[in-house]
Every structure is written in structure tokens, then in C-alpha cells.
Amino acid sequence: MSDRLAITYRLTCSPGEAPEEKARGIALEQTVELPADCVPAEVLESVVGRIESLEADGDRHLARISYPAEAIGAELPQLVNLVFGNISMKAGIRIEEIGWPPSVLESLPGPGHGIDGLRRLCGVSESRPLLCAALKPLGLTGGELADLCRELALAGVDIVKDDHSLADQSWAPFDERVTLCQHAVAEANRESGGSTLYFPNLTGELGDIRGRLDLIRRAGCRGVMLSPMVLGLQVVRALADMSELAIVGHPALTGSFFAPDHGIAPEVLLGDVFRLIGCDGVVYPNVGGRFVLDRRDCLAINQRLRGPLGDHRPAFPVPGGGIDTARIGEWTERYGPETIFLIGTSLYRQADLGAAARALVAALGRKVRNGS
Amino acid sequence: MSDRLAITYRLTCSPGEAPEEKARGIALEQTVELPADCVPAEVLESVVGRIESLEADGDRHLARISYPAEAIGAELPQLVNLVFGNISMKAGIRIEEIGWPPSVLESLPGPGHGIDGLRRLCGVSESRPLLCAALKPLGLTGGELADLCRELALAGVDIVKDDHSLADQSWAPFDERVTLCQHAVAEANRESGGSTLYFPNLTGELGDIRGRLDLIRRAGCRGVMLSPMVLGLQVVRALADMSELAIVGHPALTGSFFAPDHGIAPEVLLGDVFRLIGCDGVVYPNVGGRFVLDRRDCLAINQRLRGPLGDHRPAFPVPGGGIDTARIGEWTERYGPETIFLIGTSLYRQADLGAAARALVAALGRKVRNGS
């Protein structure tokens, strides 16, 4: 098993479907795409997935199937394909866990900064969660967004990040927005002695992304946000390889994988995968907000981002939704200090954005002084 | 409405959830990500999605919401994000149809060859479906795969394509496989006077893809297969822009979007979207095979690939699964001549691959001579 990829699937069988057959079908589908009797014996032995275990779990089954790392080669797209390519089109298959082989762990960059590095970038040495505010809405001008940046930075928010819908629209073109917002944050830091960071949303056609990355660096930003499922996982991995910027991953488009009986467990996709391709922090929709993840999912994502994963640095969970001044202490107790709390709506609901942000910063500080 | 993106969603409301509120939530979520009362009036008017209609459809609802094309800017990732980014993480939302604005239609490449162009590349002027054979399984050497290529080409198959799991594994490294397979097909064509094409599977890390594309061209291939959801849609779009090769899109990883009450209708994703980003043909799992699409889905995909879509060329549907010598006539009647039939398992089930391929070619020819 030393260099095999071991995937645990939860199988939901339809009437008349045998779990053994379903597991065998997966092992074949994800490798040779042929029935076993059409496959040469040596290929069957060396290439096709091997069923390591199959057990009942209530009215479902858990199948653990291992694949030779050789079936991946050294590239992320084929890894993704092997994990869920064709079986995404079969019913009743959900990936619950992936045991990553050393060769895969070593071939992927992982977080370039990790929790400690991102904390250092933010100038936060004490053990407390970081506070990240989303810059919105789409439709404001670059100047208006920069004004918000200034208020949020002066209030002492650790990170101000673009909303993920801020791309390169005419209301606030990318170059102008990034330049103005970063300038506003830097100026506010000079005035206040603070160290707020601005993370723009990096998106764009393939031919434009590298130029935008250069502009972000030249402007003086220390990190970016991007959406791995929208951009392509290997695009993000390449950006992680070529840049020293911190990366916060956004979950746009991932929700399709989170069906109860189909897809990939959120902690595997947002936890393991996003961390492996280079995210230092991963945004997810917090339980109790307007999205589908539940309490268990959120805790599992936190655990996977922070826990052991080869030699890779831990990454920050970045829960967003349902976090406000009244509840930030409770969330800090639940999620612990190695968390970035993402605040959006609860800030913009207040008439005075700066005051609302200061109240959040103060509430987080009180919590810390109280010892949590 | 002239330059607005109009999306029709099928809404499945949970108990107590009002369809009006759900539709309004989508319109806000996909643009400003704020409640309406937190959004400046002019942004509410010019940016937020507009509910054009909302009607009951059995126990569900159909909502048509339009968005200004300006909210996209000129880039595919933000288009994808606007279409399904955040709402992928909300329950009970399925995109049934997209009305594309002229600006989006004009900004995307569409098929570079289309049905007529791909037919010309294959040297098939008569009105009949094309026959495509999948090269498999993973685990064979480049030489063994090339031997299969030779047999299939001599049998008169129109296109031989790599299985989508053939990447750059040690059993058959990419460069070697492509070179040997293309050579085998070219040699067989010289012997037989045929015009079979070999389409390798193009995959790889971002930094490797362009080099592989160059190798494919230098080897003399006229097309490639690739998996847009695995590589990233804008990676495929960029490849379509930079290359004159025909592109066949593979549906790996798309199945997560095809839940009954969630996701994107297969004909929108595999039909409209894959065609717009540059696919000349789109593989899909045929009804009756081992995957989830039904008869309606397959016919709808065919229709969307071939029907009007701005000024773009029509693309070939490439159904795979359940097609063999006995049934190819029936499938030709159902799907018509503007189809590429993808044959895999039914070929490899036979002891003599070449004979099996010849029988299929003959069956297709008989069908044509009989006038279908």
C-alpha cells in the first residue's frame, strides 16, 4: 500500500444492485473502462483498482478501493480524473476519504505560507482568529471599493478580500480596482500603524491571469483569493508554484459535489484537495448560513485543513456566514484560534461600516483577553 | 433584454420556502451577495438579476432571471461563476436553459471545425454517422496501443481516440504513445487508402499542455480529445483559440452537475457550454449504458450541439455506450447521420478486434445504403 491511492466510497445501491458489483465497477471504470473479461491478466493485476474492504454501513456500504499511483502519472488532471472523472456520471457514489500516497503528497505544492506564515503576514502573533472582511457589492466603482477598504483597514480588520464576483467588469476594472484598493489599505496602515492586507480576487482568461498576478504583486499585495473549481485545479496549482503570494481558495462551483449520496465529501474537496494544490486558507459557507454544509461538514473541513497531510503546512479554515459581533465569541470557542472568520453581510447590514468593523475587532479582542 | 444573460432555473422548494424568495435569493447571490436592503439603489437596478418570470411547474417552479452581460465582463471564469458559482452550494436549484446574450456568444470561440469540418477531416462526404473507437485499456504499452490503432484504422474506423484515462503514465508515456499511435494510423492509411484520424487525449499540468499540443501537431494529428471540467473550461477555450486542431470534449467530472433537482441540465453543460468553448464534438454516456443520462437528456444534447447558437458552427454529438453491430442501425435511425458513434466495450468484447471493427464499419455502410 505504500504508493497506492486508497479511496473510501459510500455506496448507495439501487434495488437489485449488489455492492460487490458496484465496487468492482468503480475499480474498473476509473482505470481500464472495460469489463474484467476484456482486460489482459497483467493489466487486471497491475492497473485496475483493488477492493481492500467492503462493509455494510446502515443501509449503505463503505468500499475502500486502492489504485496504483502509477495510474496517475505525475499530473493533477489525471489525479482528478482517477478520483471522480467517469464515476461522477454514475449514481450512488460518494467519496468519503482519500488516503494519499507519498508520491502524490510530494508532487503537490501544499500551502506556501500556511497558518503560521499567513499569521506573520498579518502581523498577528497572539493566538486569536483572524478577521477577514469581504469587499462588496459588485457594481461599485474602484474608488468606492477603495473607500470601503480604507474604513475596514482603519478599523483593524486583518484581511480585506474582494467578493468572488469582482472580476474585470466595467464598474470597477481589475487593474484600477486592485491598484486603488491596495493603495487605500497601505495608506490606512501608515496612518494607523496597522497591518491590514488586501487580497484581490484573481480570475481571468488563461492568457490574462499571469499579467494580473504580476500587477497584484507590483501593487504590493501579499495574497490573492481565487476559485479553484472555476479556474481549474491545475491552474491554481501552477499559480501556487510560480508565486510567493498567499492563496485563499473560494468554494464557488464546488457545491455540485456535495449531494448526500453522490459526490465528494466537503472535507476531502475543500480540505485535502484545496490544501494540496496550494491554498493557505479555504473559504467555506458556515453552518447556519444560506448554504448546504452542516455542523459536521464544517468541523471536518477545519480538521482536514489543519491536520497532518504529508509534510504540508496546515491551512486556515475561513468560515463565512452567520458570524457577527454577538456571536464571534461563540464561534471562536467552537472553531478555535486557528481560524479566519469571514464577515460580509453582518457588516454591511450596519449603517456605519467602520463602526461595525471596529465592534467586531473589539469583540474578537475581548474574547482573546478572556482567554479563549 | 438584448445584452442580458437569461437563465431558467427549476426551483425545488423545501417546506416553508417561498419560490419568490428563492428566486430573489438567487438574483442577489449571483451578483451582489448581499440582502437587497444592504445594496445601493442604483446597484440594485443595474447589477442584481431581474426576475423575468416565475411560474409553477407541477410541484416545482420555473424562474427566469436575467443578468446584465456587464456583470460578466469579458471572461469565461466569471461567466461560470455568475451561472452557478455560489448557488452550487444551495439546495433545489437546477439550471434548465440559458439564453446567451450576443456579447457572450461573440466572445467565445465555438467549434473551429464543426460538423462539416470534422467530416472533411475524416474524408467522409456521404451523409452517414462517423465511427469512433476508443483506444484502451490503460496499462498497455505505447507499442501495444499502436498495434490496436493499426487494426482499427485498417478496419476503416473514422476516428481512433485515446481513452480519457491515458495521460502520461509509465506504461505508455505521452510522447511515445502519441508518436507511435499516429505513426501506426498514418501507415495503415497509406496501405489501405483510408483516412482514419487519431485523436490523442490531451491532459497535463498547465506548464506541460502547450508542449504536448505542439508534439501532437508535429506528429501530424488533426485533433485531440480533452476533458473540459477536469482541465478547466478556460484552459480548453485557450487551447481552442491557439490551435487549429479539432477538439472532442469528454464529460469526465460533469456528472456531479446532473442531479435531478440540482445542478445544470446536461444539454446546457455538455451542449451549449462545451460547444461554446470550442468543442467540435462532445462525448456523452448514451442512454442504456452504465451512466445516469436518460433518453430525453441524450436527445436534448444532440439538439443543442447541432442547433442554432449565435453564428457558431454545429458540433457532433458523440454518444458512447450500448452501441454495437446489431444496434448501430437502430441508433442511426434515432440520432441521425450527424452523429459520431463512440465504440469501446462492444469492440473489445470480441476476440478479433479488427474483425469486430470491420463488422461495425460494414453495418454502418449497410445502413447508409439502405437509405437512413
- Sequence-distant (6+) residues with CB within 8 A of A157 are A131, A132, A133, A196, A357, A360, A361
The residue with greater pLDDT, A366 or B108, is B108
A interface test, pick of B79, B103, B230, B264 with most A CB neighbours within 10 Å: B230
How close is the nearest chain B Cα to the Cα of A341, in Å? 17
Q: Is residue B372's pLDDT more than 50?
A: no
How far the first Cα of chain B sits from its last, in Å, is 41
Give the separation between CA B158 and CA B368, rounded to whole angstroms: 15
pLDDT at A126: 87
Rounded to the nearest angstrom, the minimum Cα separation between A21 and chain B is 12
pLDDT at B47 over 90: yes
Q: Is B137's CB within 8 Å of A163's CB?
A: no
B199 at A interface, C-beta within 8 A: no
- Residue B315 pLDDT > 80, yes or no? yes
Query: Which tens digits make up the pLDDT trace of B266-289?
Result: 999 999 999 999 999 999 999 987
Lowest mean pLDDT of A242-246, B228-232, B363-367, name the range. B363-367
Residues paired with residue B206 on neighbouring β-strands, in sequence order: none
- List B residues 58-97 in contact with A (Cβ-Cβ < 8 A): 70-78, 80-82, 84-91
Answer whether B88 sits within 8 Å of A254, measured CB to CB: yes
Percent of chain A's residues with pLDDT above 90: 93
Q: Does the structure show a pLDDT above 50 at A372? A: no
Give me the percent of chain B exceeding a pLDDT of 90: 93
Say whether pTM exceeds 0.95. Answer: yes
CB pairs under 8 A between A and B: 285
- Taking CB atoms and an 8 Å limit, are A169 and B258 in contact across chains? no
Predicted pLDDT at B370: 55
**The C-alpha cell of A115 is what?**
497558518
Residue B255 and residue A90: Cβ atoms within 8 Å? Answer: yes
Record: contact A137-B206, CB cut-off 8 A: no
Mean pLDDT of B52-69: 97
> Closest partner residue to B81 among A73, A139, A164, by Cβ?
A164
pLDDT of residue B2: 66
CB of A253 less than 8 A from some CB of B? yes
Q: Please check the confidence at residue A1 and state whether its pLDDT lies above 90.
A: no
All cell numbers assigned to A269: 474537496
Residue A292: per-residue pLDDT = 82
Cβ pair B136:A30 closer than 8 A: no
Contact A138 B31 (CB under 8 A): yes
What's the CA dihedral at B247, B253, B259, B261 to 10 degrees?
-80
In order of A217, A297, B220, B271, the CA distances from B302 in angstroms are: 46, 38, 30, 7
pLDDT tens-digit readout, A266-305? 999 999 999 999 999 999 999 987 678 999 999 999 999 9
**How much is the pLDDT for B126?**
87
What is the structure's pLDDT at B288? 81
CA B271 vs. chain centroid, Å, equals 6
Which residue is listed with cell 407541477?
B58
The 10s digit of each residue's pLDDT in B102-121 is 999 999 999 999 999 999 99
- What's the mean pLDDT in B204-230? 96
Q: Which three cell numbers stand for residue B333?
A: 435511425
Contacts of B107 in chain A (CB under 8 A): none
Distance in angstroms (rounded) separating the CA atoms of residues A152 and A147:
9
Is residue A204 over pLDDT 60?
yes
A204/B171 CB distance under 8 A: no
> Mutating which of B34, B225, B343 best tests the A interface, going by the most A Cβ atoms within 10 A?
B34
The mean pLDDT value for A333-349 works out to 95
Inspect the interface and report whether the beta carbons of A72 and B169 lie closer than 8 Å: yes
Instruction: Inform me whether the pLDDT recorded for B1 exceeds 90.
Output: no
A140: closest chain B residue by CA: B43
pLDDT given at position A367: 59
Residue given cell 467517469 in the structure block: A86
Q: CB of A33 within 8 Å of any CB in chain B?
A: yes
Mutation for testing the A interface, residue in B5, B31, B33 having most A CBs under 10 Å: B33
Which of B107, B169, B262 to mutate to test binding with chain A, by most A CBs within 10 Å of its CB? B169
CB contact, 8 Å: B211 with chain A? no
Given A32, A84, A136, which is nearest B34 (Cβ)?
Answer: A136
Q: What is the pLDDT of residue B369?
A: 56
- The amino acid occupying position A334 is R
Residue A370 confidence (pLDDT) above 90: no
Write the DSSP string, B274-324. Answer: HHHTT-SEEEEEPTTSSSS--HHHHHHHHHHHHS-BTBPPP-EEEEESS--
Q: Quick check: A256 and B84 CB within 8 A? A: yes
User: Quick one: closest CA in A to B35, which residue?
Assistant: A345
Q: What is the pLDDT of residues A17-44, one digit of tens each?
A: 999 999 999 999 999 999 999 999 999 9
For range A82-100, the mean pLDDT: 97
Cβ within 8 Å, pair B205-A238: yes
Average pLDDT over chain A, rounded to an integer: 95
**Residue B5: its chain A contacts at CB < 8 A?**
none
Mean pLDDT is lowest, of A282-291, B35-44, B298-307, for A282-291
Asked whether residue B124 carries a pLDDT value surpassing 80, the answer given is yes
Distances (CA, A) of B310 to A158, A204, B71, B315, B357: 47, 23, 20, 13, 38
pLDDT in tens, A5-17: 999 999 999 999 9
- AA identity, residue A208: D
Confidence of residue B292 (pLDDT cuts 50, 70, 90): confident
- Percent residues over pLDDT 70 in chain A: 97
Of B72, B87, B206, the CB nearest to A234: B206
- Nearest Cα to A197, choosing from A250, A130, A252, A251? A130
Domains of chain A: 4-107 (3.30.70.150), 114-369 (3.20.20.110)
- Report the alpha-carbon distance of residue B338 to residue B335 in Å, rounded: 8
User: B320-357 pLDDT, tens per residue?
Assistant: 988 999 999 999 999 999 999 999 999 999 989 999 99
